[in-house]
Amino acid sequence: MQARRYTACIESEKFNGKTHDMGFKIYCSFGNGYRLTHDEAYRDVMLQAAATLATRFSPDVGAIRSWDHNTDKWQYPVIIDNMMNLELLFWAARASGDSIYYKIAVSHADKTLANHFRPDASVCHVVDYDPETGAVAHRHTHQGYAHESTWARGEAWALYGYTMCYRETGEERYLKQAQRIADFIFAHPRLPEDLVPYWDYDAPGIPDEPRDVSAAAVTASALYELAEYDVGAGELHRSRADRILSALTGSYRARAGEARGFLLLHSTGSKPHDSEVDVPLVYADYYFLEALLRRERFETTGSALSGV
């Protein structure tokens, strides 16, 4: 009952065409609600949300516009976070039978694959496109340390996003990219021993920089899924995810009854803006729980995605 009540509070977001975050807001809430209850009203909300999100896609650019703010900095910004919203579009393509959602998701994933990554598979947070030609105008960061640095949560979004895209399409280029991203993360010399990254891999004050527990939680959840597809390295991916969950549970978990009900402490929202630094964040808890559920499914069924 409580889940239904709080979910209903954000239903109006299905019409909010001013944001790209439709997957985060609607698919994570109504999507799980539909999976668990099969309530057709939830299905209708998600289809409307997908239609709204699709209005932010430009065929000229080939990607979904992320933000409408800071027009003095960019014309058509696309952020790596936006990969997480494609899952809603893939679902909508299946649910509605309309292939336009699938085509938009694949176009966005391919445009991001072509332009967001450096040769070592580190990711640039923001790519600004010319809205008329689709050419790259600039590469920026917004929440990372510098334009050339690697923002930890951005790298986690990329790992999760391309793993999910492989699940939805079977395209080997997405699996290969997810593998490369995982290699970058775990070979990085500034990744701490407990595998919970600092907020930016290139932050100048390491080891005295804030951690980003949310990046670790997203990474752990993605690794359990990646292990399903990257069979040769499946055991390695699962063992790394297990190590992350062990660290989060043992060293970053809030005490029961404290932190206003949050599960995890020590995430970093946007350090350059002095916003949400070393605090609990709702999406850290969400992906922590998802990772725990995926591990439990693997232990009981042999597949982290069984029953999803």
Catalytically active residues, by annotation: 21, 81
Closest to 123 measured CA to CA, from 97, 102, 144, 100: 144
Longest dimension (CA), the chain: 54
In the chain, the amino acid numbered 239 is S
Torsion of CA 300, 302, 305, 306, to 10 degrees: -60
Distance CA 186, CA 84 (A): 21
